Structure 1
Amino acid sequence: METPVRFSSCRGVAFEVKPHEHHFSISKPISPSSHPSASSNITTNTPFWPRPNSFQIFPSPSAPSSLLRSLSRPSSHFCDVSDQEQQEYDLEEGDPHTPVQNPKPSHPPKNNPKSRLSVILLDQGLFTVYKRLFLLCLALNITALVLAATGYFPYARANPSVFSIGNILALSVCRSEAFLRVVFWLAVTVLGRPWVPLAFKTAVTSLLQSLGGVHSGCGVSSIAWLVYALVLTLTDPFNRSTPIIAVASSILALLCLSSLAAFPLVRHLHHNVFERIHRFAGWTALALLWAFLILTLTYDPITNSYNKDVPSRLFQTQEFWFTAAITFLIILPWVTVRRVPVQISAPSGHASIIKFSGGVKPGLLGRISPSPLSEWHAFGIISDGEKEHMMLAGAVGDFTKSLVSNPPSHLWVRGVHFAGLPYLVNMYERALVVATGSGICVFLSFLLQRSRADVYLVWVAKGIEENFGKEIKGMVNGYPKEKVIVHDTAVLGRPNVAELSVMAAGKWKTEVVIVTSNPEGSRDVVNACKSAGIAAFGPIWDS
């Protein structure tokens, strides 16, 4: 009888995979001395998929122990599932792909594994670029506010509403997908050249990824300026108008409600509640802002009355143009909303593929919705740039699960596709993209279309064909094998993705690593790469 092949994975328990005829089985271990690339702990000579241009990842016996840690429980189908789903799956027994041979871990398990929420709230660091931008915006506004209150900034004291509305305009710009699409395009066009210093490219990438810090900082600052404006109005008996105070107070209440709903704890645990409050409270506040402008410009403090006609000086005020710009930015994405036919297929109960007409450039993301006023979901777009594009949706929530169980014939979409972190791959000469599970979708377009960057891929997932289908598998398999590492956890167990990413970046000498995983996984990869002196970026909770 042939000796079973022995592997290890990330949880400290060895296990064995018996040889069989399955395409994902490994016939025999590869000796480090028998392959010229063994020093990198990455081999590609044994077929992983049944075609000449195939690939695999196989940790060699000389690999670091942290990479060869094994698992004591079956790994999940997707590495980016929620914490609750991960725990439920971990409690299942009898994974036929990874029979556990030694139930006793060689490393003691953590007593209190960190939840996704703790990673979001506590493990992002105290001085991230996001938080620096937040503090910078807040510090500048508080400084100006203190100077105005103490009489050293008379313009601000006379026009506090200008600063409040100006901050609302700034936060709207930072969330305008159409405006940011232009900004990202300019960044790639101007900086995506070999002579631009790498340090400058990574600084711009970090800045663009963290613009949410400006958004939140300006949001809090607008509240502070509006409070100051109300205090000045209430303490001035000759310029006090009950309707103006009532409208300003309502705007203040709505801004505070929106800010509280955006707090990480609320946003993470009740995302749909956050989204609806942010949308409808924002729209109501904008309508009241127009009322506030008209009331303040028609109010005559001498007669304590209002002129019936809006004065011509309305168009000469900063408040008007600021408010008009805010209105334009908010209305713009909704003008492009339309209901389109879709084709949805489910390669497994764990994911669905949604197809649309029209080609899309690599690195862009799109939003879809079953009901446009209630919820929107963003997904990476997969396209060859020609006739159609598609989205890969892991079934981890109510909406995404319904795509598998009850696929609709039409969905609502926004016509403007927005640029995110993956789009900035085009800024670099050589980039490593790392994905776990369905996170691969944001990078597949780079494999199907010619891009500025020389792109390399590491993908860790379970049951590639079983869970993602032949079409997704074929897209990855069609890319040059020397640029791809696929680690199927159904065969090899769960690896140390962070160390695997560092080794791959070193092997291919890439300038940057961009990862799409769950919060903890992204954090680990980014930290490991930075410790090795490699620029790395992953999605943040408010990116």
Structure 2
Amino acid sequence: GKRQIRPIRVVRHTIFNVYRRLFSIVLIANVIALVVYLLNSSGVLRINIWNLATASSANIFVASAIRQDYVQGLLYRCAWLIPHSASLKMRRIIAKLYENGGIHSGCGIAATMWFLALTVLAAIQFSHGVFTSRPLFTLTCCLQALLFVITISAYPALRTRYHNNFEMSHRFAGWIVIIVFWVELSLLATATANMESTSTGGVLAKQPSFWFLISTTFHAILPWVNLRRWEFQADHLSNHAIRLHFSQTVSPFTGIAISRSPLFEWHPFATMPSLAGEPTGGSLICSAAGDWTKDAVKNPRRYYWVKGIPKPGVLGMCLIFKQVVVVTTGSGIGPCLSILASPIRKTACRVLWSGPDPEKTFGSEITDCVRRVDPRAVIIDTKASGRPDMLALTYSLYLECNAEAVFVISNPKLTRKIVYGMECRGVPAFGPIWDS
């Protein structure tokens, strides 16, 4: 049964999930640091703008670094070192590592907060003649406006409703912020050098914000260095789904993002290894869900762009458990197969898969693969039997096989419902989050 009273369950498992806890810790720590710094200053007109720039650039650096493919891969690989003999409580905590997006969001808001303090301070000092550079003050205001655009467009409700606009504003405004930050840093260093009768380069080299900005610039460029055009072979599974095969070798349990227009939109997919009798390489399953995927199913391209390094997703965390229940609906079976079909997987898996006529929609190869992994897999045809009570079935399967955890890949509503329902019963449950 459920372990706590409803208000506590709601706060613990929804309002204050791990993502939001990380977000809150990062933001509160920055707020405290800013308040302490301002209280300990010897007056508004004497506050050193460089210190505020350093705090802002440090947060921007962390926000960009935590999102890097190589950092995500490293975090997962560290988690995979945890043996199955470790306590379930420890492994349950470590498995939540995939919710580290809270650090990205928290640092992004904190960077905007620090820079807002810098902008207000610059305005006060400018009005008192302490801060005299008009171009520098103008750039500061422009940079603040850009940070506001990035922050506001990333608000969950707006991001979901206007996702393409969010993606472009986040990318292009982010690049412009870095460029403007470089110009501003150079102007600030020049002004400081003139006052101290020293070189601009010498001033920059002494400033942490300079080195943070170098690292942030490196991280902005790095994924594009790995931009490649891959060839895909389309295998039409049905009118609603397509399987795209590629010859490149990717690490087990990882996913890639593909695009027709690299500058504008990217679509992530989990990869699965080649099945028995297929050429080496891998594949991904694309199901007609949105405008882009519907067009991809109807008119698949021979070539798509792939950026960055293949990185693990939430399902990668199932490897630190001895036995798990994998719950999915419809095309969610694609990401699940990245784990289920892996020949090096040591985790025992039970599968609960619900969808409209799965064998007809995704083909016998896919359903046969699922049954090879779990001969007793529960595959439900919702066209024939209607939509089942997935929460009840999940809990029943969890108890039946004495699993250690439940992993859910479905639409946001059902994923949250099952994860919440399991967590309330003390069952370790994991699924994608849509907050980041």
Same fold (TM over 0.5): yes
Check 1:476–1:268 CA distance in 2 against 1; reply closer, same or farther (3 A cut): same
**Aligned pairs (5 A) from 1:133-212:** 133-151=22-40, 159-189=51-81, 192-206=82-96, 208-212=97-101
Q: Which residue of 1 aligns with 2:8?
A: none
User: Is 1:261 paired with 2:150?
Assistant: no
Q: Structure 1 CA distance, aligned partners of 2:50 and 2:201? A: 20
Check 1:124–1:430 CA distance in 2 against 1; reply closer, same or farther (3 A cut): closer
User: Is 1:246 paired with 2:138?
Assistant: yes
Q: Structure 1 CA distance, aligned partners of 2:323 and 2:50? A: 53
SS of residue in 1 equivalent to 2:131: coil
Q: Which residue of 2 aligns with 1:519?
A: 412
Check 1:302–1:155 CA distance in 2 against 1; reply closer, same or farther (3 A cut): closer
Q: Structure 2 CA distance, aligned partners of 1:451 and 1:257? A: 43
Q: What displacement does 1:300 show?
A: 4.1
> 1:166·1:322 contact (CA, 8 Å) conserved in 2?
yes
Q: Which residue of 2 aligns with 1:423?
A: 316
Q: Structure 1 CA distance, aligned partners of 2:337 and 2:133? A: 59
Q: What displacement does 1:233 show?
A: 2.3
Q: What displacement does 1:274 show?
A: 0.4
Q: Structure 2 CA distance, aligned partners of 1:359 and 1:301? A: 52
Q: What displacement does 1:503 show?
A: 0.8
Q: Which residue of 2 aligns with 1:369?
A: 259
Q: Which residue of 2 aligns with 1:346?
A: 236
1:529 aligned to which of 397, 400, 422: 422
> 1:161·1:226 contact (CA, 8 Å) conserved in 2?
yes
Q: Structure 2 CA distance, aligned partners of 1:158 and 1:436? A: 52
> 1:176·1:330 contact (CA, 8 Å) conserved in 2?
no
Q: Which residue of 1 aligns with 2:396?
A: 503
Q: What displacement does 1:450 show?
A: 2.5
Residue type at the aligned position of 1:503: S
> 2:237·2:362 contact (CA, 8 Å) conserved in 1?
yes
Q: What displacement does 1:245 show?
A: 1.4
Check 1:183–1:512 CA distance in 2 against 1; reply closer, same or farther (3 A cut): same
Q: Structure 2 CA distance, aligned partners of 1:314 and 1:274? A: 33
> 1:499·1:525 contact (CA, 8 Å) conserved in 2?
no
Q: Which residue of 2 aligns with 1:90?
A: none
Q: Which residue of 1 aligns with 2:7?
A: none
**Aligned pairs (5 A) from 1:131-530:** 131-151=20-40, 159-189=51-81, 192-206=82-96, 208-236=97-125, 237-300=129-192, 310-384=200-274, 387-448=280-341, 449-482=343-376, 484-530=377-423
Q: What displacement does 1:303 show?
A: 6.2
Normalised to the residue count of structure 2, the TM-score between the two structures is 0.89
* Cα deviation code 1:412-450 (max 9, x no counterpart): 112511121111111112121111110111111333223
> 1:165·1:319 contact (CA, 8 Å) conserved in 2?
yes
Q: Structure 2 CA distance, aligned partners of 1:165 and 1:289? A: 9
Q: Structure 2 CA distance, aligned partners of 1:359 and 1:320? A: 38
SS of residue in 2 equivalent to 1:457: strand
> 2:256·2:268 contact (CA, 8 Å) conserved in 1?
yes
* Cα deviation code 1:246-290 (max 9, x no counterpart): 222211111110111111121111110000000000000011111
Q: What displacement does 1:309 show?
A: 6.5
Q: Structure 2 CA distance, aligned partners of 1:184 and 1:165? A: 26
Structure 1 unaligned residues grouped into runs of 5+: 1-121
Q: Structure 2 CA distance, aligned partners of 1:498 and 1:362? A: 29
Q: What displacement does 1:454 show?
A: 1.8
User: Is 1:540 paired with 2:430?
Assistant: no
> 1:151·1:157 contact (CA, 8 Å) conserved in 2?
no
Check 1:165–1:238 CA distance in 2 against 1; reply closer, same or farther (3 A cut): same
Q: Structure 2 CA distance, aligned partners of 1:308 and 1:278? A: 37
Higher mean alpha-carbon deviation, 434-443 vs 356-365, is at 356-365
Q: Structure 2 CA distance, aligned partners of 1:311 and 1:250? A: 24
SS of residue in 1 equivalent to 2:40: coil
CA RMSD of aligned residues (A): 2.4
What percent identity do the matched residue pairs reach?
32
Check 1:124–1:397 CA distance in 2 against 1; reply closer, same or farther (3 A cut): farther
SS of residue in 1 equivalent to 2:108: helix
> 2:193·2:199 contact (CA, 8 Å) conserved in 1?
no
Q: Structure 2 CA distance, aligned partners of 1:429 and 1:221? A: 39
Check 1:294–1:134 CA distance in 2 against 1; reply closer, same or farther (3 A cut): same
Structure 2 unaligned residues grouped into runs of 5+: 1-10
Residue type at the aligned position of 2:90: F
> 2:13·2:423 contact (CA, 8 Å) conserved in 1?
no
Q: What displacement does 1:330 show?
A: 1.5
Q: Which residue of 2 aligns with 1:126?
A: 15
SS of residue in 1 equivalent to 2:301: coil
SS of residue in 2 equivalent to 1:345: strand
Normalised to the residue count of structure 1, the TM-score between the two structures is 0.72
SS of residue in 2 equivalent to 1:235: helix
Which structure is higher in helix share? 2
SS of residue in 2 equivalent to 1:478: helix
> 1:336·1:416 contact (CA, 8 Å) conserved in 2?
yes
Check 1:257–1:308 CA distance in 2 against 1; reply closer, same or farther (3 A cut): farther
Check 1:156–1:310 CA distance in 2 against 1; reply closer, same or farther (3 A cut): closer
Check 1:464–1:123 CA distance in 2 against 1; reply closer, same or farther (3 A cut): farther
